Amino acid sequence: MENKRLLRTTAENTIIWIDLEGVLIEVDSLFYLMRYKPNLAIKSILKGAIKTISEKIKNWKTDFRKELIRNVKKEYEEKMSQIELYIFGRRIFDFQSKKHKENLVNLMKTLKKYDIYIVTYTEKHIAKGFLDCLPAELRVKTENIISSKEKEAIIDYLKNKNKNKKIVGIGDSYIDEKALERSDVACILSSYINKVLGCKIKYGYKFNNLAELNKFFIAIYDK
């Protein structure tokens, strides 16, 4: 990955993909479900844990947490209607700290000139509900909100579709490793858990929060 090439990149030949949870959303959505619907959250955790333990996981050290989160989310997403999922997304926005909301709005103002995609494991109606809380002029196009369990495949698709453009990924240091590897430039936010476990990704630009990320784009991109 040739990060120095970023310095010669313009808005016209750049596509930016952004993860939601751990990046635009401070922490995992399950944390907010505990505040919004605690009974559903507890039931989903128990059922998801039982299902995960019963599965044949090749590498428990690296894959258990990912599979657990995936199974827990599947449990509560299947119990909620599309409207409930959308409302939950809006509630997640409400639960963000005041400082994080300010940093989020400032970042989206900086990036609004770019072609932006949201590529996330988060259920699409939850993602849409969250993003619709942004000011109208800063919202991501609905067709550019992509919910997928195969992020790497989505990044490959974007690269093949836009061969003359640079793909810049903004992701979490834990679950977005492979998708970031496929991007031309990686911007990595360390989620709370990885500030304890450490960031596995050795390349790219690393940030602790959206404010740092915004300063980077202002300095490097905003010419």
The pLDDT tens digits of the residues spanning 25-67 come to 988 888 899 999 999 999 999 999 999 888 877 777 667 777 8
| Confidence class for position 180, pLDDT limits 50, 70, 90 | confident
Whether 5 shows a pLDDT value over 60: the answer reads no
Question: Total structural domains in the chain?
Answer: 2
Domain match, 112 and 193 both: yes
Rounded average pLDDT over 180-195:
75
- The whole-number pLDDT of residue 2 equals 44
pLDDT digits (tens, 9 = 90+) for 105-155: 999 999 998 999 999 989 999 999 999 999 999 999 999 999 988 888 999
Contacts 24+ apart (CB under 8 A), 202-210: 203/1, 203/3, 204/1, 204/3, 204/180, 205/3, 206/173, 209/100, 209/103, 210/23, 210/24, 210/100, 210/103, 210/104, 210/106, 210/107
Together in a domain, 18 and 72:
no
- Do 152 and 191 belong together in one domain? yes
Q: Are residues 139 and 166 in the same domain?
A: yes
Can you tell me the mean pLDDT for 171-188? Answer: 82
* pTM of the full structure: 0.85
Q: Which residue range is the domain that position 45 belongs to? A: 30-87
What residues does 166 pair with on adjacent strands?
14
- 109 with 214, same domain? yes
Same domain, 15 and 44: no
Q: Are residues 102 and 116 in the same domain?
A: yes
Paired residues of 115 in beta bridges: 15
Mean pLDDT score across all residues of the chain = 85
Beta-bridge partner residues of 21: 25
Residue 199 inside a domain? The answer is yes
**Residue scoring higher pLDDT (93 or 3):** 93
* Chain position carrying tokens 């989310």: 73
Please tell me whether residue 17 adopts helix, strand or coil conformation: strand
Q: Evaluate if residue 164 carries a pLDDT over 60.
A: yes
Residues 6+ apart with CB under 8 A from 222: 110
Measuring CA to CA, which residue among 192, 152, 128, 209 is closest to residue 17? 152
For residue 92, tell me if it sits in a domain.
Answer: no
Q: Are strands 145-147 and 166-172 parallel, antiparallel or unpaired?
A: unpaired
In the prediction, which pLDDT does 40 show? 95
**Total length of the chain:** 223
Same domain, 48 and 140: no
Which of 53, 87, 121 is the last residue in one of the domains?
Answer: 87
Residue 206 DSSP SS3: strand
Chain-centroid distance of CA 179 in Å reads 11
In contact, 76 and 40? CB cutoff 8 Å: yes
Asked if 205 contacts 188 with a C-beta cutoff of 8 angstroms, the reply is yes
